[in-house]
Amino acid sequence: MTIALDDVIPAFHFRESHSTRVDATPEQTLAAARAATPAEMPIVRPLFALRSLGSRDGLPAAADAPLFDQLVGFGFALLGERPGEEVVFGLVDQAWKLRGGETVRVSGAEEFRAFSTPGYIKAAANFRAWSQGGWTLLETETRVLATDPVSRRKFGRYWLVIRPGSGLIRRSWLKAAKRRAERAPRMVDRHIRRAGNDSDTAPVHRPRS
């Protein structure tokens, strides 16, 4: 599935993005983001528990299982992947409803893009690892598209409340991925095209999607 975030949700109403520098290859870095567990992210479990108050189904936060896999099991769908570079996952639901909100299971990117039933939001996020010639820029971006104006207003109010906590979770996840990737034995970065690139002064290169 060579699908990027731009392919899945090119238009959106809400967006959030965070990034960090990692001294590892893009392949190692992306694998670390997918393997990181809530035990490596101290803020995740209490924030998930707070968000789950009054909810029928609490958000997943088993300490020693990869958070990515837990989210996919919870209702997120794997929407696309560019091996060693980017992974995209998403959800269709009614996040602003603490009780009685419905999550719609989608099978993949095509079904996610086509979904347009009023009363929902479509949220997609990614982890993307860019080689910088000696180090990697790891970014996570979240985009949300409402399916109608009423849902957009309702989610907008919800977004104002949860966005600070959402940012904390994403930054904690990036830090966990960084620690995990930098502990692993260093592999050769297949993206480096010439020797002698000074990683401390080289500009950040963001390839086209």
Q: Which of 16, 145, 26, 15 is nearest to 82 (CA)?
A: 26
pLDDT-based confidence at residue 209 (cuts at 50, 70, 90) = very low
Q: Which two tokens stand for residue 131?
A: 């080689």
16 or 50, which is more confident?
A: 16
- Tell me which of 69-83, 96-110, 180-194 is least confident: 180-194
Measured distance CA(97)–CA(100) in Å, rounded = 6
E-assigned strand segments in 23-173: 77-82, 86-93, 121-131, 136-146
Q: Tell me the β-bridge partners of 168.
A: none
Q: Which of 40, 58, 41, 62 is nearest to 50 (CA)?
A: 58
E-assigned strand segments in the chain: 14-22, 77-82, 86-93, 121-131, 136-146
- Tell me which of 31-40, 42-51, 81-90, 118-127 is least confident: 42-51
CATH 1.10.3470 is the classification of domain 5-183 = no
Q: Tell me the β-bridge partners of 142.
A: 16, 125
Q: Which two tokens stand for residue 201?
A: 């002064």
Tell me what pLDDT residue 44 has.
83
pTM: 0.83
Any idea where the domains of the chain sit in the sequence? 5-183
Q: Any idea what the Cα angle at residue 76 is, between residues 116 and 23, rounded to 5°?
A: 125
Measured distance CA(9)–CA(87) in Å, rounded = 14
Q: Which residues of 115-146 are buried (b: 16+ CB within 10 A; e: fewer)?
A: eeeeebbbbbbbbbbbbbbbbbbbbbbbbbbb
